[in-house]
Structure 1
Amino acid sequence: MKNFRIKNISIAVAIFGASLTMTSCINDLRQEPITEVTAASLYKDFGNYKNLLAKVYGGLAVGGQTGGDGNGDIADIDGGFSNYMRLLYTLQEITTDEAVIGWNDGTLPEFHKMTWTPTNEFNNAMYYRIYTEIAFCNEFIKNTTDEMLSSNGISGTNADEAKVMRAEVRFIRAQAYYHLLDLYGNVPFVDETTFGTLPKQISRAELFTYVENQLKAAESELKAPKANEYGRVDKAAAWSLLARLYLNAKVYTGTDRNADVIANTEKVISAGYTLNPTYENLFLADNNLNNPENIFSIVYDGLKTQTNGGTTFMVHAAIGGTMDPAAFGVNGGWGGLRTTKAFVNKFEPSDVRGRFYTSGQTLDINDLGNFNDGYAFIKYKNITSTGAAGAHDNWVETDMPVYRLADTYLMYAEAVLRGGGGSMSTAVGYINALRTRANASPVTFIDLNFILDERSRELSWENTRRTDLIRFGKFTSATYLWPWKGNAKDGIAVAEYRNLFPIPNNDLVVNKNLVQNPGY
């Protein structure tokens, strides 16, 4: 049983049987979410706050307001396709050497080929999904200011807990803006003070500062590491995202912040987290139990969180060909996700992180649409560490790690190599701790190229790869090629402007404050 439950129902349905809907046009972010029950009545009763908070977290986990992503939050796209984590995977992983997808749904094939345009519906869904999440957060924050808590009669320990919840939502909003900062650069800005106005465009550097300040503000009110319920964020999550923000500061602002990476990773490392002794167990159906490594995960439950995104997508979509779905705890495969030989070749044979299904599969990819072209990669399963199947054979209940200690170790090591301070011997020790767990050969020397590859080996399919390749100057350039990069079988360079995705054309039409990213 997961501590913090997220269900496929809206706030109002959960409490009063009414419905809550969000539109997908940024122009409509001038409006408050439409509810049949006013926010004033919801926030007067502290008994509602946990459900209100669950809706914010649920925006990361599910794609709609009923089971199976029904009544989707984003218009004009299937609720399962519009799931936050599924879309993030599409933009962060399928665009890289780590993943290809065999489906021809709409403009989906454009991502691995790196030929997307401002009319790509999946890119647009990601953009609108993030802003929908921001709208949920703004509504919560607006109604939980100190003044609103007082006027609503929320006091004592209830007020203290409400302020912790507010800090969690502030973190989630900062995380959403971090994704916009990383994926789109200069974007419209909305917060709890801008209702009723047409959003203005904020520069990437300004947004960096905003995210940094919001995370610091949230950190001051969040609970101590590991003191919150499982599935809710704490101070260590804020330090983790700050470290990730600072690691990419040169890309976002032109200025290195590697000393700040060291400072924040050291906070996480000293907070009592330890590596899970078994790598595979990080991605199984009971990864919410006895897992001292994960700092924050998106919570899934096979009975209560039924979505075609999240880990349901990660498990089903990676099964095809002659693979046995029962070995993954599910009732069938979707025949979509595989990987490239550039990724396969990063692993030595003994490394348990490089698990590939090769029977009936070819290493080379001649046809992106054929599941048998390219090795299948084994990452997530709907099976527990004891071998038992998950509670449901279709809806996967494996939680999705967002921040974990292994990434912290890798960020520390990279920041040391980039001149941020710290200790080289400590960095090598952290890397060898990961490699020892993976049954890979220990190393005595590390450099930046090694770190980039080690991040891929350790964090594959965890939504960091595109960002990493950009930071190393290898996402669009000819310095690193992989199959079908640039829509060429052996890979070619693409224009540098593809380091950012385009702002949807629809948003440019309705908001004259916006300027499209260069190249589009």
Structure 2
Amino acid sequence: MKKITLIIASIILISGSSCVNDLETKPKVNLSLEDLLDSDPNAVEGILAKLYASYALTGTDGPGSADITAQDAGESGFLRAIINLQDFTADGMKNRWGDGGLDPLTTTTNWTDNNKFFRLFYDRAYFTIPQCNNLISILNNNDFENSEVIKSEARLLRALSYFYLIDTFGKGVLATEENLGQSTPLPESSRSELFNYVEAELLEIETILPDRIGYGRVNRFVANMLLAKLYINAEVYIGVPRYNDAVTQLNKVIGEGGYTLDPNFVHLFSGDNDSSPEIIFPILADPVSNQSYGNTTYIVNGNMNSATMPTLDFGNLGGVFAWAGHRATKSWYGLFGNSAADLANATDRRAGLFWTDGHNFEMNDYREWTDGFPSTKFRNTGANTTISPSEFSGTDFPLYRLADAYLMYAECALRGATNASIGDALNYVNLVRNRSVATPITSGELTLDFIIDERARELNLEGHRRTDLIRFNRFTGGSYIWSWKGGTFNGTAIPEAYKLFPIPVSALNSNPNLQQNPGF
């Protein structure tokens, strides 16, 4: 084995505030992989675990640590960023704190390149990507058992970060193992260039990844799901519809993956959801070993408040440690009825996953805790087992699950995919609805308008909503208005530029090759 330079991310944290800084990180440990494996046969998988941890944790030295520069370590997590940027900017969820840039997200107004939440998400992606590059570079120069599979896992995790850059910022720099350690600023890569790169990577590693590796690790069906996400949004990303390609990938997930709908919807969002047959890829959480303020702890605790929720029921929901920040709006729960009584009487079990006591149906003031209904969809107690509430959530986040694949298939069928059947689409939608005891729909009711609403009923607070609304041409402009869109109670149109986030000023200052997105 040749001598190699290892940056052992599982031992030494590498932090940086921009993509350029990350690409300039210096080697910390010099040794041969053979020596490392002799001392610890699991060393490479330990490095791989750090890559997964970049999605699950803010840092590897406890909940107060951060891999990237952040005044509040808890704000630097991947999942927290997804909720902030995908759900609070959309119609169904709002945050009342308003501090440090949350107000512009909640009201879709005054977006600037100085907003720290745009920077934190950008920096998180460009922290994860070089870490993946490090391991891939090591494995390219060494051959041992399972090295190709492990390398493919790292490539998929890298592709996942690039996918979110494509979706949120629409551009970036293409950092790979080929330019690892390069100090010269990389050229800007367009949305199409990043799209093509991610597509090629996923198509190649799909043939290498096994059907299963282990819970919490990516497999070939995760690659299929990510490809399906890329293709279903291709008309937005590159101006070319790729719905047939999305269906090809979805058919693999649905027909070959062996996943089934969880018979208990609540189980998907409880502390024992690691046994759910529906979850394709989770972001892991644990109340002891994986403590973080940036994983599902942010969702569970953020939706709870002991002042307005009785102690017993409050504890049963698993939110003893409450932050009183997030509430759903009528754009979400209004899809189940026009009052709290309607929600209570609905047969659809998803309608009951809101706290209505002491809260107002209308969100007249998004800063007022009692305006809007907190979501009780996520909890850190068990659904099928007894788990006591704790300060940190042990509930894994279902980034990809089968119900999403079913609804994506139905959408593609309605958008004209020639390899999709309307009959199968109707069946998949009704499987999702039957699970929640919602009334089945007829073929005449299966429309794109129905699908975007059903995605809200089923998937809100799971990090998809902003992307969904953009794909349905409902995010910007004035064709679809929700309360506090554009900063007013009745809502107003917002600029087309808001389909993308502004490139953070720190990234622009670090790399002169980057150009700001239009409109900012």
TM superposition score normalised by structure 2: 0.91
Tell me how far apart the structure 1 counterparts of residues 498 and 25 of structure 2 sit (CA, whole Å): 33
Are the equivalent residues in 2 in contact too, given 1:21–1:34 (CA < 8 A)?
Answer: no
**Which of 237, 241, 260 pairs up with 1:274?**
260
What is the distance in 1 between the residues matched to 2:218 and 2:429? 26
* 2:230 maps to amino acid: L
Within 5 Å, which residues of 2 pair with 1:90-109?
90-109=84-103
Quote how far apart the aligned CAs of 1:329 are. 2.4
Correspondence list, 1:297-336, <5 A? 297-320=282-305, 321-323=307-309, 324=311, 325-336=314-325
1:133-152 to 2 correspondences below 5 Å: 133-145=128-140, 148-150=141-143
Equivalent in 269, 284, 290 of residue 270 of structure 2: 284
Write the distance in 2 (CA, Å) between the matches of 1:465 and 1:234.
Answer: 25
Among 219, 235, 240, the alignment partner of 2:225 is: 240
Q: Distance in 2 between matches of 1:131 and 1:168?
A: 17
Is 2:17–2:506's contact at 8 Å kept on the other side of the alignment? no
Contact in 2 for aligned 1:20/1:33 (Cα 8 Å): no
Residue of structure 2 in register with 1:436 after alignment = 434
Alpha carbons 2:15, 2:22 under 8 Å: kept: no
Per the TM alignment, residue 508 of structure 1 is displaced from its structure 2 partner at its CA by: 1.2
Change (3 A) 1:243 1:12: closer
Tell me the equivalent position of 1:81. 75
For residues 295-349 of structure 1, what are the alpha-carbon distances to aligned partners after superposition, in whole Å with 9 as ceiling and x for unaligned? 1101111110010011111100011241244122243210001011121111252
- Which secondary structure does the structure 2 equivalent of 1:251 belong to? helix
1:41 Cα deviation (Å)? Answer: 5.2
- Partner residue, 2:61: 66
The Cα of 1:38 is off from its aligned counterpart by 3.2
C-alpha distance in structure 2 between counterparts of 1:269 and 1:322, whole Å = 42
**Distance (whole Å) between structure 2 residues aligned to residue 329 and residue 88 of structure 1:** 22
Q: Which one-letter code corresponds to 1:26 in the other structure? A: C
Q: Distance in 1 between matches of 2:370 and 2:34?
A: 52
Map of 1:50 onto structure 2: 45
Q: Is the contact made by 1:33 and 1:135 (CA closer than 8 Å) also made in structure 2?
A: no
Q: Determine helix, strand or coil for the equivalent of 1:383.
A: coil
Q: What is the Cα deviation at residue 39 of structure 1?
A: 6.5
Q: CA RMSD in A?
A: 1.6
Q: How big is each residue's C-alpha offset from its partner over 1:204-257, in whole Å with a ceiling of 9 and x where there is no partner?
A: 111111111111122111112xx2110001011010111111000000111100
Instruction: Give the Cα separation in 2 of the matches to 1:441 and 1:112.
Output: 32
State the shift of 1:510 in Å: 2.1
Q: Secondary structure at the match of 1:297?
A: strand
Deviation at 1:44, TM superposition (A): 4.3
The 3 A distance-change label for structure 1 pair 489 and 326 is same
- Residue in structure 2 matched with residue 512 of structure 1 by the alignment: 512
Are 1:179 and 2:164 matched, yes or no? yes
Say if 1:22 and 1:34, in contact at 8 Å, map to a contact too.
Answer: no
Q: Which residue of 1 aligns with 2:327?
A: 338
Match of residue 4 from structure 2? none
Question: SS in structure 2 opposite 1:381?
Answer: coil
Q: After TM superposition, list the pairs within 5 Å mapping 1:110-259 onto structure 2.
A: 110-115=104-109, 116-145=111-140, 148-150=141-143, 155=144, 158=145, 161-194=146-179, 195-196=181-182, 197-224=184-211, 227-259=212-244
- TM (norm. structure 1) is 0.91
SS of the counterpart of 2:106? helix
Contact 2:23 2:130 in 1 (8 A): no
In the other structure, the counterpart of 2:30 is 38
Provide, for residues 267-307 of structure 1, a one-character-per-residue CA deviation record: whole Å limited to 9, x for no partner. 11112211111111111111001x21111101111110010
Supply the AA of the counterpart residue of 2:322. Answer: G
Determine if contact 1:22/1:33 at 8 Å carries over to the other structure.
Answer: no
Instruction: Give the AA of the match of 2:403.
Output: A
Q: Which amino acid aligns with 2:286?
A: D
Structure 2 gap ranges (5+): 1-6, 338-345
CA contact (8 A) 1:43 1:49 kept: no
Shift of 1:105: 2.0
Measure the CA separation in 1 of the matches of 2:308 and 2:26: 46
Match 2:408 to one of 394, 408, 411:
411
**Equivalents in 1 of 2:69, 2:27: separation in Å?**
15
Partner Cα distance (1:82, 1:55) in 2? 16
SS state of the match for residue 216, structure 2?
A: coil
Residues 1:24 and 2:35 are matched in the alignment: no
Farther-moved stretch of structure 1 (227-236 vs 314-323): 314-323
Q: Which residue of 2 aligns with 1:364?
A: 362
Q: 2:384 aligns with which of 376, 383, 386?
A: 386
Q: Which amino acid aligns with 1:49?
A: V
Report the AA paired with residue 488 of structure 1. Answer: T
Letter aligned with residue 142 of structure 1:
S
SS at match of 2:372: coil
Rounded to whole Å, the distance in 1 between the matches of 2:463 and 2:265 is 17
The alpha-carbon deviation at position 386 of structure 1 amounts to 3.3
Give the Cα separation in 1 of the matches to 2:72 and 2:152.
31
Give the distance between the partners of 1:234 and 1:326, measured in 2 at CA: 36
Matches of 2:324 and 2:167 in 1, distance apart? 30
Distance 1:173 1:240 in 2: 15
Give the aligned residue type for 2:518: P
Which residue of 1 is the match for residue 494 of structure 2?
Answer: 494
Give, as a single letter, the amino acid of the residue that structure 2 aligns with 1:113.
Answer: T
TM-superposed deviation, 1:106: 1.1
Stretch of structure 1 that moved more, 325-334 or 412-421: 325-334
Deviation at 1:43, TM superposition (A): 8.0
Looking at structure 1, the residues matched to 348 and 133 of structure 2 have their Cα atoms a distance apart, in angstroms, of 44
User: Which shifted more, 430-439 or 107-116?
Assistant: 107-116
Instruction: Return the alpha-carbon distance in structure 1 between the equivalents of residues 150 and 196 of structure 2.
Output: 23
Q: Residue type of the partner of 2:255?
A: S
Partner of 2:399: 402
Matched residue of 2:237: which SS? helix
Range with greater deviation from structure 2 (419-428 or 315-324):
315-324
2:33 and 2:107 map into 1 onto residues whose CA distance is 50
The 10-residue stretch of structure 1 (211-220 or 177-186) with the greater mean CA deviation from structure 2: 211-220
Alignment size in residue pairs: 491
State how far apart, in whole Å, the 2-side matches of 1:39 and 1:228 are: 28
Counterpart for residue 248 of structure 2: 263
Return the letter of the residue paired with 1:326.
G
SS at match of 1:177: helix
CA distance in 2, matches of 1:470, 1:42: 49
> Kindly tell me: are residues 43 and 454 of structure 1, through their superposed partners in 2, closer, same or farther at Cα, counting changes over 3 Å?
farther
In structure 2, do the counterparts of structure 1 residues 142 and 385 end up closer, same or farther at CA, with 3 Å as the change threshold?
same
Give the structure 1 partner of residue 3 of structure 2: none
| Equivalent residue in structure 2 for 1:373, among 371, 375, 379 | 371
| Paired AA for residue 62 in structure 2 | G
